[in-house]
Amino acid sequence: MSLDPMNPLLTEKTDLKVYLVDIVDRSIDVNILEDRLLELENLVNTFGGMVVIKRYQKRDMPDKRTYIGSGKLEEIILEMKEVWAQLLIVGNVLKPSQVYQLNEKLRPIWAKAWDRMDLILKIFDKHAISTESKMQIELAAIRHMWPRIYGMWMELSRQWWWWEWAMRWLGETNTEIMRRHLKDKQFKIVEKLKEYENMRRLHRDTRRKRWIPTIWIVWYTNVGKSSLLNFLTNKWVIAENKLFATLWTNVWKLYLMTDLVTGRWKEFLLNDTIGFIRDLPPRLIQAFASTLEDSIEADLLFHVIDASDVYVDDRIAVVNHILDEIWAKQKRLMVFNKIDLIDAEKLKELKLKFKDQDCIWISVYDGSGIDELKDKLIETTNFYK
């Protein structure tokens, strides 16, 4: 980001007006395009910005120089000037040279350009609370920033020309200094994260010795996962219509009665991690690998699904793809929530489609299916005596 104090993005009192643009293959359905833009707009709202214009463009290949194309970019700049938009967000991950060229073109109107990865990193940074999650986000940011160093060097050279010449006199360029600094910073973060990883390993070993089954809850954003946790554990978790409302890993205790005669109870641990979205950048998954390690080694996986979602098949595919990427191999239980929002015909259709899968059908709103879910939980973890 520019260090100029007159940059509107640095003025807290200014409402951040955002222009969204996305480029997709010509074969993609219009409804999918609109859903992609809606998800991108939700990300902007989560960050705290306000979308004033959103556009998509169908083309076979993005422009190599600006991704958008020079003609389209000129149109966008004119529209941004008319509505006083300060930020252009592209709904994809751009090459360093493309980000640099976009920012150069937007400089005269005091605007900036981010790609989708930039936006998600900003959201993560804004919502991070624990020291570990902050370090993980910083690590992802460094890995994302690495290929863009030369663009930052150009910006620093314009603002601190004396620094550039001083470093050349010393035989080291700004680019080399920045690379060395980021490399050292990355090493320190990785080493510190290993300490947290070792601590979690000890905790896992303790749980195994106590014979406590662990369940990993995975979900596409906004499926009612937090409401389900509230219902099961009677504890307050954030339940709001925002992407990435939960960033760090939470562990919740659940007690279920396994024998009415003896009054015997069983303790379960529910691992709650970040929600998934389509095209979740691999660098973010890598950065959160140490946190996800706890979940990957869980005994059972709860895949919470919004049964009322029009794009339910697409959402399931996205989650399964990410789970395959991180080598999650444990047994999966598909928990279809919000069945109160669909009619009997739609429910019958879904049950037929997923009849070969291990599924539970529930509604947190009216409590239907919750008892079956608890029974299934006990049944699938009965190897823990």
pLDDT bucket at 207, cuts 50 / 70 / 90: low
Query: What pLDDT shows up at residue 248?
Result: 54
Higher pLDDT, 34 or 222: 34
55-64, 301-310, 357-366: least confidently modelled range: 55-64
What is the torsion angle, in degrees rounded to the nearest 10, for the CA atoms of residue 70, residue 71, residue 74 and residue 78? -160
Residue 314, C-beta contacts closer than 8 angstroms, at least 6 positions apart: 32, 278
Percent share of the chain, pLDDT over 70? 76
Sequence-distant (6+) residues with CB within 8 A of 245 are 46, 127, 226, 238, 239, 275
Tokens of 49: 């910005």
Q: Which residue has the tokens 């620094």?
A: 163
Q: How confident is the model at residue 74 (pLDDT cuts 50, 70, 90)?
A: very high
pLDDT in tens, 263-299: 678 888 888 777 777 777 666 666 666 556 666 778 8
Q: Are 302 and 220 in contact (CB under 8 A)?
A: no
Q: What's the pLDDT band for 120 if we cut at 50, 70, 90?
A: confident
- Residue 182 or residue 368, greater confidence: 368
Q: What is the dihedral of CA 79, 82, 88, 89, to 10 degrees?
A: -70
Q: What is the model's pTM? A: 0.75
Determine the 3-state secondary structure of 13 from DSSP: coil
pLDDT of 53 strictly over 90: yes
**If you average pLDDT over residues 320-328, what whole number do you get?**
82
- Assess contact for 333 and 380: CB atoms under 8 A: yes
- pLDDT of 208 reads 67
Binned at pLDDT 50, 70 and 90, residue 334 comes out as: very high
Question: Rounded to a whole number, what is the distance in angstroms from the first to the last CA of the chain?
Answer: 56
| Top-confidence range, 90-104, 214-228, 239-253, 333-347 | 333-347
Please choose, from the candidates 1, 384, 317, the residue with its C-alpha nearest in 3D space to the C-alpha of residue 159.
Answer: 1
Q: Is the pLDDT of residue 164 over 60?
A: no
Handedness of CA 42, 43, 49, 51 (dihedral sign): negative
The CA distances from residue 123 to 181, 185, 190, 250, in Å, are 24, 21, 22, 19
Per-residue confidence at 3, pLDDT binned at 50, 70, 90?
very low
Domains (ranges, CATH) in the chain?
Answer: 8-125 (3.40.50.11060), 128-190 (no CATH), 211-380 (3.40.50.300)
Mean pLDDT over all residues of the chain?
A: 79
Residue pLDDT, tens place only, 95-111: 888 998 999 999 999 99
Mean pLDDT of 86-90: 96
Percent of the chain with pLDDT over 90: 26
Q: Which of 46-50, 74-78, 373-377 has the highest mean pLDDT?
A: 74-78
CA dist 311 and 66 (Å) reads: 31
Q: Considering only 160-174, 274-288, 332-346, which range has the smallest mean pLDDT?
A: 160-174
Regarding predicted confidence, which is higher, 10 or 141?
Answer: 141
In the structure, what pLDDT confidence band is assigned to residue 194 with cuts at 50, 70 and 90? confident
Helices and strands, counts by H and E, the chain: 14, 10
